Structure 1
Amino acid sequence: MPRPTCSRCQRPLSHCLCALVPSLDSRTRVLILQHPSEVGHALNTARLAALGLRNAELRVGEVCDDLPALLAHSDYRACLLFPGEESVILSAYATDERPLLLVVPDGTWRKARKLLHMNPLLAALPRVSLDGAAPSRYRLRKAPEEGALSTIEAIATALDVLEAPHDFSALLRPFDALIEGQIAAMGEEVFIRNHQR
C-alpha cells in the first residue's frame, strides 16, 4: 500500500516540506517546462520552485502546445535559461527595464535538450545563462559539468542576479531539507561511499 502523500508538495506526509516552502514575489515571471520523466522523481526541485514563487508556473510534457500563448505576454521579454555559445550572461535589471519571462527546462541535460528539440519555439528564444554561480548543493547527483545546478538552484541564482539586492535564498530551504532527509534515509556511510567526491 502506497504511503499517503501531501497533495501540494507531493512528498510523503511524514516528510512534507510545505512548512519550509516560501511564498516569494518576483518581478520576473518563471515558466518551468518539466520533462514528464521528472514528475515522479523523489527530488523534484522544479515543483518546489514553482510552489515557492508566486509569479511562476510549472508545465509538464515533452511538447507544450500552448507555448505561443504562454510566451506572448507583453509585460515580459521571453528568454530561455540554458547555456550555450549564443547565451548572454544575466545581469541585474535596469530601473525601467521590462522584466523577463524566464523559461526554464527541467530534466537531465539530455531531456532538457530534447524539450528544446520538440519545441522549436523554445529553441528559438534568446538564451541567457549564469556566470560564476556557487557550487551546487545537490550532493546526491553528480553534475555532468562544472557549474551545473539543479533547477531550483538555477532559478534562485537567476532571480538573485536579476532582482538584486532582493534575496531569493529562502527558495532553497525545502531543497536543503529534502537533500538532508535523503542523506539521513540512506545513512551517512552509504552517502559517503556513493556520493562524496
Structure 2
Amino acid sequence: MSRIQCPRCLRPQSHCLCPLIPSLDSRTRVLLLQHPSEVNHALNTARLAALGLNNAELIVGEVFADLPRLLNQPGYQARLLFPADDAQPLQAYGPSGDSLLLVVPDGTWRKARKLLHMNPLLAALPRVTLAEGGVSRYRLRKAPGPGALSTVEAIVQALQTLEAPASFELLLKPFEALIEGQIAAMGEETYQKNHGGG
C-alpha cells in the first residue's frame, strides 16, 4: 500500500515540505530541464527550487521540442549553467541590460550531458559557471568533486551572485529539512558510519 503523497511537493503527506517552501521573486528567470530519472528521487531538489521561485519553470523530459520558444523569452538572455572550458563565471547584474534566463539541466552528470547531447540547441547556449569553492550541504551523497552542488544549491549560489545583495537562502530550508529527515530515518549510527567519515 502506498503512502498518501502531497500533490505539490510530491513528498509523503506525513513529511510534506510545503510549509517550508518560500515564494521568492527573482529578476533572473530559471528554467529547469529535469531528466525523467530524477522525478521520483527522494531528494528532488530541482522541484523544490521550482516551487520556491516565482520566476521558475520545471520541465521533465529527454528531448525538449518546445526549446526554441522556451529559450526565446523577451528581455532575457539564455545562458546554460554547466561547466565548460569557455564558460564565463557568473557576475552581479549591472544597472542596465537584459536579465538572464538561467537554464539548469537536472540529473546526474552523465544524464545532464545526455540532455545536452539530445538537445543541440541547449548544448549551443553560452555557458556560465559558479565561483569556485562552493561547499555542498548535501551530506548524504559523496560529491563527484570539489564544488559539486545539488541543483537547488547551485541555483541559490547563482542567484545570490547575480542579484547581490538579495538573499535566496530560504530556498535551502526545505532541502535541509529533507536531509535531516533522511538522516533521522537511517539513524545517527548508520549516518555516521556511511557519511560522517567515522
In 2: Cα distance, 1:165 partner to 1:60 partner = 31
Output the CA distance in 1 between the equivalents of 2:190 and 2:63.
Answer: 38
1:17-96 alignment, distance < 5 Å? 17-96=17-96
User: Once the 2 structures are TM-superposed, how far is the Cα of residue 52 of structure 1 from its aligned partner?
Assistant: 0.1
Deviation of 1:7 (Å): 0.3
> Taking structure 1 as the reference length, what is the TM-score of the superposition?
0.99
Equivalent-residue separation in structure 1 for 2:172 and 2:66 (angstroms): 29
Q: Describe how 1:148-163 pairs up with structure 2 within 5 A.
A: 148-163=148-163
**Quick one: distance in 1 between partners of 2:59 and 2:88?**
25
Give the alignment's Cα RMSD to 1 decimal. 0.7
Say if 1:133 and 1:157, in contact at 8 Å, map to a contact too: no
Match of 2:147 in 1: 147
What is the one-letter code of the residue matched to 1:134? G
- The separation in 2 between residues aligned to 1:93 and 1:196, in whole angstroms, is 39
Query: Does residue 120 in structure 1 map to residue 101 in structure 2?
Result: no
Q: Over residues 123-163 of structure 1, what are the superposed CA-to-partner deviations in whole Å (9 max), with x where a residue is unaligned?
A: 00000000124310001111101100000000000000000
Equivalent residues, number: 197
TM-score, length-scaled by structure 2: 0.98
Runs of 4+ in 1 over 6 A off after TM superposition: none
Residue 101 of structure 2 aligns with which residue? 101
Secondary structure, counterpart of 1:78 in structure 2? strand
Secondary structure in 2 aligned to 1:164? coil
Task: Confirm or deny: 8 A CA contact 1:80 1:104 kept in the other structure.
Answer: yes
Contact 2:133 2:146 in 1 (8 A): no
Q: Are 1:90 and 1:162, in contact at CA under 8 Å, matched by a contact in 2?
A: yes
In the alignment, is the contact (CA less than 8 A) between 2:8 and 2:18 conserved in 1?
yes
Gaps of 5+ in 2: none
CA apart distance, 1:104: 0.1
Give the superposition deviation at 1:77. Answer: 0.1
Looking at structure 2, the residues matched to 49 and 160 of structure 1 have their Cα atoms a distance apart, in angstroms, of 14
Which SS does the other structure have where 2:32 is aligned? strand
Identity %: 70
User: Aligned with 2:175: secondary structure?
Assistant: helix
- Report Cα offsets for 1:80-126 as digits up to 9, x if no partner: 00011010000000010210000000000000000000000000000
Distance 1:71 1:18 in 2: 29
> What code does the residue aligned with 1:192 have?
Q
Distance 1:11 1:73 in 2: 32
Q: How much has 1:195 moved relative to structure 2?
A: 1.3
Instruction: Specify every segment of 5 or more residues in structure 1 that has no aligned partner in the other structure, as ranges.
Output: none
What is the DSSP-based 3-state SS (H/G/I as helix, E as strand, rest coil) of the residue aligned with 1:156? Answer: helix
